[in-house]
Chains A and B, each alone.
Chain A
Amino acid sequence: MVYSAEKLSEEKVFKDPVHRYVHVRDRVIWDLVGTKEFQRLRRIKQLGTTFLTFHGAEHSRFNHSLGVYEIVRRIIDDVFAGRPEWNDDDRLLTLCAALLHDLGHGPFSHAFEKIFDLDHEEFTRKIILGNTEVNRVLVRVGADFPKKVAEVIAKTSEKKLVVSMISSQIDADRMDYLQRDAYFTGVSYGQFDMERILRVMRPREDQVVIKKSGMHAVEDYIMSRYQMYWQVYFHPVSRSAEVILTKILHRAKQLYKENYKFKYELMHFTSLFREHVTLEDYLKLDESVIMYYFQIWQEEPDPILSDLCKRFVNRNLFKYAEFDPAREYKKLAQLTTLFMKAGIDPDYYLVVDSSSDLPYDFYRPGEEEERLPIHLLMKSGELRELSRESEIVDAISGKRRTDHKLYYPADFLQDETTGAEWKRQIRSLLE
């Protein structure tokens, strides 16, 4: 039997708190799960710093990747199989892309990408196409199979239906992370009837569409997404931790540039600081490694690096104030000056952080938009864009909500042993 069609003698299952079970019967999928690059995802948290706010949020990208795979497997095997619009030759490609879609994520991805100019999608591509265990599994399916999987994940594949199952405004990725993140954070917002949505999904040439009868389940999904973004993902305390994490990396990189002599050997960070990170270097990074450095950097003589690491490790986070950049940018300039006078470096201790989300967007005929909307399949066979049928979705369509906050170390500002007058002025501006 050819490798791509090979089945395990017995179905393997992973117990999963969200989907109950993740079912694996394909040999290729089982082999991919066992690769060291995929196992690495166990050591990278799905929600980064969110565990400092919601203590349950310790789940990993490994859990999520299996979940996305399971959703896609159910869509294909339980709903699409046998339908004329679905080509079953694409089954394995879709399952592999679902399983591997987050493979290139590193520890605390967002902060690392920002400071070290990295791109996790580029690393996903490199892991799939490079000299890796994952590549060796995929190549056994076909010489060009790794490339096809990488193209689906990068959304540059001509197979638009397959791409839309993994990445669109209603895709397996979002359906898994909303439910999984809700479960592990313990909030009640991320609930929606996924079983119902899966049952009403239909394949079309270039995207998945939803039977009109499933519209209310989709409404629920969009509202839960909206709630999760504002209640969990953009929680100001998690953002504060993210701000400190980013500033630690920023400070360490700056010190390296200035030839500062670190007390302990840097090893894993050297290639990051030099901005020449090979795939081999990258795969050695995980959150345990990063937390080790944050531990030892608490003992560095540089007061800023040491202080920021202590804050992160011991959860002594920055406080925040609401900030309106349009009305208050002059105040920000004033605060920057006062921080300098008070001997507190504003580059590290006065930070504007913005969160922004667009819960759903629709296509405006003729306009230069880039998002593929959700289409409802009407009884007549006609496709109608979701917000034209749903009043609830219409109410939030195209409406972006943005929030800016100003983060600062309140404990420093309360300590009047130095710069008391400047600190009092700062406090009065921040109140």
Chain B
Amino acid sequence: MLNDHAKLMQAIRVSGEIVGRKKLQKMIYIAKKIDFPFQDRFQFHFYGPYSEELTTRVEELCNMGFLNEVKEKKGGYFQYRYTLTEEGKEFLSLNQVEMPHLEDVLTDMNEQNARFLELVSTVLYFDNLSKEEVTDKVFTLKSSQRYTLEEIDEAYQYIEDLKKKTAAVMELN
């Protein structure tokens, strides 16, 4: 019952706040790819994997008054800051979702910038391809971002670290 809404709210709650729509999209996608049970379907768009369903859910939660969206001017563009409202916290307390270890993973991702998460999510999107092919994809589809080979290596390393982090926390429990 509104379980998918509750999962998204839980993700924002454990992150404290998430700044940027692109960042939110990439965080949920990466979490989904490392096996957290988010149901939203993603397709490849301009900034990498993107879910229309997730965008809809965020808008719905804002309209319901469960999510607070603050539009802020940053340099030449606007960005959006998301936090849970008091009403949202109350809703979540009545609709608890179990996603152990989510906080560790999302906190880590929240400390990264959106540009890097865009690269990480793109690498994960093409996880059926070899590293060489992925690199080629990044250079072709993301040419405007001018990612370097070193950054692509970092993205691979980051994915490994996230997976280890999830596995390590699971072992501890």
Contact = CB atoms under 8 A, between A and B. Distances in A.
A402 B56 contact: yes
Given A367-B78, A368-B20, A400 B41 contact: no
B56 A356 contact: yes
A354 B60 contact: yes
Contacts of A113: 41
Interface in B48-106: 50, 55-56, 59-60, 63-66, 76-80, 87, 91, 94-95
Contact of B2 (A155, A325, A346, A367): A325
Contacts of B1: 332, 336, 346, 350-352
Contacts of B114: 368
Contacts of B79: 368
Contacts of A400: 56, 59
Contact of B77 (A156, A325, A351, A366): A366
A367 B77 CA distance: 6
Contacts of A351: 1
Contact of A119 (B41, B56, B80): B41
A356 B60 CA distance: 9
B165 interface: no
Contacts of A119: 41
B2 A329 contact: yes
B22 interface: yes
B56 A156 contact: no
Given A325-B64, A402-B63, A330 B140 contact: no
A153 B152 CA distance: 25
Contacts of A367: 77-78
B63 A158 contact: no
A350 B95 CA distance: 15
B163 interface: no
B60 A158 contact: no
- Tell which of A158, A352, A367 has the most Cβ of chain B within 10 Å: A367
B66 A365 contact: no
B15 to A, nearest CB: 17
Contacts of A382: none
B141 interface: yes
Interface string A312-350: 000000000000011001101100100000000010001
B157 interface: no
A352 B63 CA distance: 17
Given A329-B91, A402-B60, A402-B63, A352 B2 contact: yes
Contacts of B44: 154-156
Given A326-B65, A400-B59, A158 B141 contact: yes
Nearest to A155: B44
A158 B56 CA distance: 28
A351 B66 CA distance: 20
B94 A333 contact: yes
Interface string B17-33: 00011100100000000
Contacts of B141: 156, 158
Given A368-B79, A400-B59, A402-B60, A121 B43 contact: yes
A400 B114 CA distance: 25
B53 to A, nearest CB: 9
- Tell which of A332, A356, A358 has the most Cβ of chain B within 10 Å: A356
Nearest to B50: A370
B45 interface: yes
A296 interface: no
Nearest to B37: A117
B46 A372 contact: yes
Contacts of B113: none
A370 B45 contact: yes
Contacts of A368: 20-22, 47, 77, 79-80, 114
Interface in A290-328: 325-326
A123 to B, nearest CB: 13
Contacts of B21: 368-369
Interface in A97-128: 113-114, 119, 121
20 contacts: A156-B137, A325-B5, A325-B60, A325-B64, A330-B94, A332-B2, A350-B1, A351-B1, A352-B2, A354-B60, A358-B56, A364-B78, A366-B78, A367-B78, A370-B46, A370-B50, A372-B46, A400-B56, A402-B59, A402-B60
Interface of B: 1-2, 5, 20-22, 25, 39, 41, 43-47, 50, 55-56, 59-60, 63-66, 76-80, 87, 91, 94-95, 114, 125-126, 137, 140-141
Interface of A: 113-114, 119, 121, 154-156, 158, 325-326, 329-330, 332-333, 336, 346, 350-352, 354, 356, 358, 364-372, 400, 402
Given A156-B137, A325-B2, A325-B5, 19 more contacts: A114-B39, A119-B41, A156-B141, A325-B64, A326-B64, A326-B66, A329-B2, A329-B95, A350-B1, A352-B1, A356-B59, A358-B56, A364-B78, A365-B77, A366-B76, A367-B77, A368-B21, A370-B45, A402-B63
